Amino acid sequence: MKKVAIIGGAGYTARELIRLLMRHPEAQVVAISDIQEGRPHIASIHPSLAGLLDLCLEKLTPQEVAARADCVFCCLPHGASSSLIPALLDGGTRVVDFSADYRLNDPDVFAKWYDQKHTDPERLGKVPYGLPELFREQIGPAPLVANPGCYPTSTILALAPLLEAGLIEPRGIIADSKSGVSGAGRTPKLLTHYPECNESLCAYGLGRHRHQPEIAQLLSTAAGEAVDVLFTPHLVPMDRGILTTTYSQPRGDVGEEKLLDTLREFYAEEPFVRVVDHLPATKDSMMSNFCDVTVRRIGDRVVTVSCLDNLIKGASGAAVQNFNLMFGFPEVTALI
């Protein structure tokens, strides 16, 4: 039985994480640290967790958290994470970080896209990116894992095998992503006020979304050469789910069956990637840790469609998957 703690308990990723951990026979949630005043019960923050976890939020120092837990799930926004994580690691605990702080290898790229200097730059590039389908070996022994972004996961799982196999051109890739609203977090604002975004669809952050460099970096790693991708996110009136449609050019005369077979072989042993023949809907993977992927050859384009639940495979499910790898539990534990 491993003792786990959560830092940042009021958001959706923490709620989903706790829900999943309640099913984990080898994980015990021992602490939730948060800046909320007055030690509120977790069920007063997340009514859906009533009857599942009897714990109050506490304001804890990183040292206190590290002393209590074998593993810490850090559900803080970027910037906040990297200011705590060195202390957590010094305290001897292992960490799965939900923020973007340790995903990028280059502190200058981080500074450019996140408008701030990285506070722990020497660790960048040494932290495995927590996508087990690509980095399982590195995740297992790591003290700290950078849990991937939701959009990047949907994009990378679709394109990495094709780039690695050299079946598509690394230049001029387009990733048109559509996400449910929970991806925008739990802080009320006009954009996500129900009567504004319900029954409405919009693009946002064109050319400026912070997942752009993350996608480019990971695809470049997969391709073994610089990949150029244009990422455009859209906000869809639904709670959960991301669907990413990518457009790229085939390298040589590759047919649809070869493309599909490449995906099928790449993910043959993967428990959570389903290469499907049909066009997947986000609902097929809703509330699950699955990512559904398919590919089409249309005219002179290769088109992939991939779906996942942004809060599960795109966040908290991936975190549990990483936890399982880090502590030697079967990878699917608590995730079926």
Site for its own copies in 27-56 (CB under 8 A): 47-48, 50-52
In 3D space, the residue among 31, 81, 27 whose CA is nearest the CA of residue 60 turns out to be: 31
Of 59-67, 71-79, 155-163, 169-177, the segment contacting its own copies by CB under 8 A is 169-177
Q: Degrees (nearest 5) of the Cα angle 151, 152, 156?
A: 125
In residues, how long is the chain? 336
Residue 88: CB minimum distance to its own copies, A:
29
- Residue 150 designated active-site: yes
Site for its own copies in 294-333 (CB under 8 A): 296, 298-301, 303, 305, 307
Q: Which is nearer to its own copies, 119 or 192 (CB)?
A: 192
Sheet harboring 27-33: ordered strands across?
57-58, 27-33, 2-7, 71-74, 94-97, 144-146
Binding of its own copies by 224 (CB under 8 A): no
Binding-site size for its own copies (CB under 8 A) equals 75
Q: Which is nearer to its own copies, 47 or 122 (CB)?
A: 47
Judge contact between 153 and 317, C-beta under 8 A: no
Burial of 116 (0-12, 13-18, 19+ CB in 10 A): exposed
CA-to-CA distance for 99 and 80, rounded, in angstroms? Answer: 8
Query: Of 150, 197, 291, 307, which is the active-site residue?
Result: 150
Q: Which is nearer to its own copies, 47 or 328 (CB)?
A: 47
Site for its own copies in 258-297 (CB under 8 A): 271-272, 274, 276, 278-288, 290, 292, 296
Residue 315: CB minimum distance to its own copies, A:
13
Selected binder of its own copies within 90, 137, 198, 257 (CB under 8 A): 198
Of 104-112, 141-149, 160-168, 201-209, the segment contacting its own copies by CB under 8 A is 201-209
| CA dihedral sign of residues 253, 256, 259, 261 | negative
Residue 201: CB minimum distance to its own copies, A:
5
Q: Which is nearer to its own copies, 128 or 183 (CB)?
A: 183
Contacts 24+ apart (CB under 8 A), 56-60: 56/32, 57/9, 57/10, 57/32, 57/33, 58/31, 58/32, 58/33, 58/34, 59/33, 59/34, 59/35, 60/5, 60/7, 60/31, 60/33
Selected binder of its own copies within 38, 188, 252, 328 (CB under 8 A): 188
Amino acid symbol at 211: H
CA-to-CA distance for 274 and 280, rounded, in angstroms? Answer: 10
Q: Which is nearer to its own copies, 38 or 47 (CB)?
A: 47
Selected binder of its own copies within 1, 37, 38, 195 (CB under 8 A): 195
Q: Which is nearer to its own copies, 80 or 174 (CB)?
A: 174
Known catalytic residues are 150
